[in-house]
Copies of this chain bind each other. A is one copy, B any other.
Amino acid sequence: MDVLVPFRAQEPKTRLGAVLDATEREEFARLMLADVLEAVTKAGYEPSVLSTARLAALADEHPVIVDERPLTEAVNAHLDPPTAVVMADLALATPASLSRLFAADGDVVLVPGRGGGTNALVARHRQFRVDYHGASYRDHQTRCESIGADVGRVDSYRLSTDVDEPSDLPEVLLHGRGKATDWLDARFDISVSNGRVDLTRRECS
């Protein structure tokens, strides 16, 4: 089975702009990508990066397919069942959680993302196509009904946590293990007040 990890190389993670500057967002996004690739590899698969631009740093380790088109079109162009698609910002993904995805039954296996998205999927049905616009999880379910595909679902906090917003970053610090977590941990502390968890940027020493 192919495993595609789509990655937007230019201006990634703009919604983290309130907390990280453009250079930091790029660094952090690439570390999350590296963590996801490592977790897929440890789960026993050989991931390919589906990137909007060349990624010289990765080329020695993993195949990089360059496709400049928007996410939905690029993924559909390379969706040759059986294929898994795993988002590059799943900073909490582990080999164990990904193994549950890859082993799950279903013509199509879906993992919801917080906020209505689809963080990961396995497509084993030839008529399945992705559509990442809007609340994609619902649309993917509807698509499966219309083509008569059995849907499997994986209930995983780790895979359902994609890192889009500043409020996602404490989850990484609290439960992450990889390079992106170490990077964040070197720059931010966690603070708790009124039952809410927040990040505080560490003062320069």
Contacts and interface: CB of A to CB of B under 8 A. Distances in A.
Interface string A55-99: 000000000000000000000000000000000000000001100
Interface residues of A, number: 30
A177 interface: no
A97 B155 CA distance: 8
Contacts of A97: 155
Interface in A94-127: 96-97, 112, 114-117
Contacts of A147: none
A197 interface: yes
Interface stretch (A26-34, A44-52, A167-175): A167-175
Interface in A147-198: 155-161, 164, 167, 170-171, 174-175, 190, 192, 195-197
A191 to B, nearest CB: 9
28 contacts: A15-B195, A96-B155, A112-B157, A112-B174, A112-B175, A114-B114, A114-B161, A114-B171, A115-B195, A115-B196, A115-B197, A116-B170, A116-B174, A116-B190, A116-B192, A116-B197, A134-B192, A135-B190, A135-B197, A138-B174, A155-B157, A156-B156, A156-B157, A157-B159, A157-B160, A160-B160, A164-B195, A167-B167
